Amino acid sequence: MLRTKIFLGAVFCLNVTFCFAQQVFDCEKVLTTEPYFVKNEVSQNDSLYLKDLSILKRCGGFADSDSLLFKGSIFLAIMDKQLEDTSNITYAKVVKAINQFKQTNTYKEFLDGVTLYRNLESKTANTKTWETDKTLFVRLGFTEADLEDFRNFIAEEKHQKLTYKQAYILYMKEIDALEVKQN
C-alpha cells in the first residue's frame, strides 16, 4: 500500500512538473506570424508591444549590443524607414529589416553616438578636454553659441566636479528656468 502511494505521488509530481515546465518556444513558427505593433497604435509600456520586442530579441539572433535598437521610439523609427510596404508583415520580415538597417551608415553613426555618450556620461566635465569632448554636444544639435555657453557653464567653479551628464542636466534645467521667467 505504501509503495502504491509513493508511486502515485511520484507520478503526480512528474505530471505537475511537465504541466508547468516552460513550453518550448517555436521561433520558426512564431516568425511567420504578424507582430501586434503592425496594425495597432502602441505605447512603450503596452504589454503586447513588449511581447513583440521579446519575440524579436529571442528569435532574431540579436546580440546584447543590439538591445538599444529595441527602445520604443528608435525601433518604431527603424520600422517606418525599413518597412515601406506594411502589408503581410511577419516577425521574420522585421528581423530582416533590422539586419538591413544594421548595414547602413545611419546605424554606424547611431552606435558611434551611443559609444560617445557612454564615454562622456561618467567623465568629469573639463574645459581642458572640451575641444575633444564637445563632439557629443555637436551631435545633440548645439550651435556654436550653445557650445560656448555650455563651456562657460562647466568652467564655473561650482560645476567643475560634475560629470558631463550631470552638467548637461543642470544646464538644461537652468535654460528651462530662464525660458519660464521670460514668459
The answer on 155 and 89 residing in a single domain is: no
pLDDT of 86: 67
**CA–centroid distance for 49 within its chain:** 14
Given 103, 121, 152, the domain boundary residue is: 103
Distance separating alpha carbons of residues 29 and 31, to the nearest angstrom: 6
One pLDDT digit (tens) per residue for the chain, 183 residues: 655 545 445 445 545 444 444 445 789 999 999 999 888 888 878 899 889 888 998 999 887 778 788 876 788 788 777 777 667 889 999 999 889 888 999 888 888 888 888 888 889 999 999 999 998 889 888 999 999 999 999 999 999 899 999 999 999 998 888 776 666
**Who's near 136: CB < 8 A, 6+ residues apart?**
113, 116, 117, 120, 164
- Render pLDDT for 136-176 as a digit per residue (tens, 0 to 9): 889 888 999 999 999 999 999 999 899 999 999 999 998 88
The answer on 173 and 126 residing in a single domain is: yes
The answer on 98 and 60 residing in a single domain is: yes
The answer on 167 and 122 residing in a single domain is: yes
Q: Work out the percent of the chain whose per-residue pLDDT is above 70.
A: 83
Please list the residues that pair with 124 across neighbouring strands: 163
The count of structural domains within the chain is 2
| Mean pLDDT of the chain, nearest integer | 82
Q: Which domain holds residue 114?
A: 108-182
